[in-house]
Amino acid sequence: MELKVIARIRTDFGEKFGIPRQSGLVPELTGRIVFEPAFKDPAAVKDLVQYDRIWLIWGFSELGEDRPFSPTVRPPRLGGNKRVSVFATRSPFRPNPIGLSCVSLLKVETDTAEGPVLTVGGADLMDGTPIYDIKPYLPHFEAFPEARGGFSKEHQGDVLRVDFPEHLLALVPEDKRVSLKEVLALDPRPAYQHEAVNIRFQVTEEHLVVTDVSENG
């Protein structure tokens, strides 16, 4: 099946580095879903106001296509050296590089200069990521708090204390400070590099860009 890009998400993550490993880990991270010209129709989204949450089906756009099939992957959360069945992970390195994210729906605008725009919270997507489908979250059929969650649960509580000097934090736009500290608390360092890294924050007109500028980063 050939998928059409229906929209793209705008987020503060200009590169893969720093993106939380699952949706919802940092609820303060917001993103704006802007539709492609052929799908800019207010009627297609207006009834979403009845929902608190939506599903995004999207593409891991940074991967090259046609990688050979690897039946196992090494999830970063397990230290990057244990192999796990690919279909038992949410790794991007899967036969079809499709991502699935449950995000909160904060705002439905039907008539902006960019057409209809959905503002979502908790997005774990890179800026510009193509969106292939948007579906309402149906709690009756999709909320199973008691389901066993595999290894993803084990590292649930691992967060860092973030020590961010006030005079540096003052350089960050006020509305980005909470989300930035929460992203750092999740420890964006790769699992194989648990020592100091040098991170550069660059504030542009539209984005707060976080980059790893360590020598080996």
Stretch that binds a second copy, among 146-154, 167-175, 176-184, 194-202 (CB under 8 A): 146-154
Alpha carbon distance 181, 22 (integer Å): 17
Q: How far is CA 175 from the centre of its chain?
A: 18
Q: Does 173 bind a second copy (CB under 8 A)?
A: no
Please report whether residue 112 would count as binding a second copy according to CB under 8 A: no
Instruction: Specify the residue for token string 């929902």.
Output: 51
Check residue 160 for interaction with a second copy (CB under 8 A).
no
Q: Report d(CA 161, CA 164) in Å as an integer.
A: 9
Which one-letter amino acid corresponds to residue 137? Y
- 131-161: b (≥16 Cβ within 10 Å) or e: beebeebeeeeeeeeeeeeeeeeeeeeeeee
| 53-92 positions binding a second copy, by CB under 8 A | 53-55, 57, 59, 65, 69, 71-72, 84-90
Rule CB under 8 A: say whether 140 interacts with a second copy.
yes
Shortest separation between residue 176's beta carbon and a second copy, angstroms: 23
216 forms part of the interface with a second copy (CB under 8 A): no
The distance of closest approach from Cβ of residue 170 to a second copy in the complex, given in angstroms and rounded to an integer, is 33
CB atoms within 10 A of CB 129: 26
Nearest to 10 by CA among 179, 207, 209, 211: 207
Q: By CB under 8 A, which span of 11-19, 20-28, 165-173, 187-195 interacts with a second copy?
A: 20-28
Q: Using DSSP, state whether 140 is helix, strand or coil.
A: helix
For a second copy (CB under 8 A), the number of binding residues is 68
Q: How far is the CB of 121 from a second copy (least distance, A)?
A: 12
Where on the chain is the footprint of a second copy (CB under 8 A)?
1-4, 6, 22-25, 38-39, 41, 43-48, 50-55, 57, 59, 65, 69, 71-72, 84-90, 94-98, 100, 102, 130, 132-153, 156
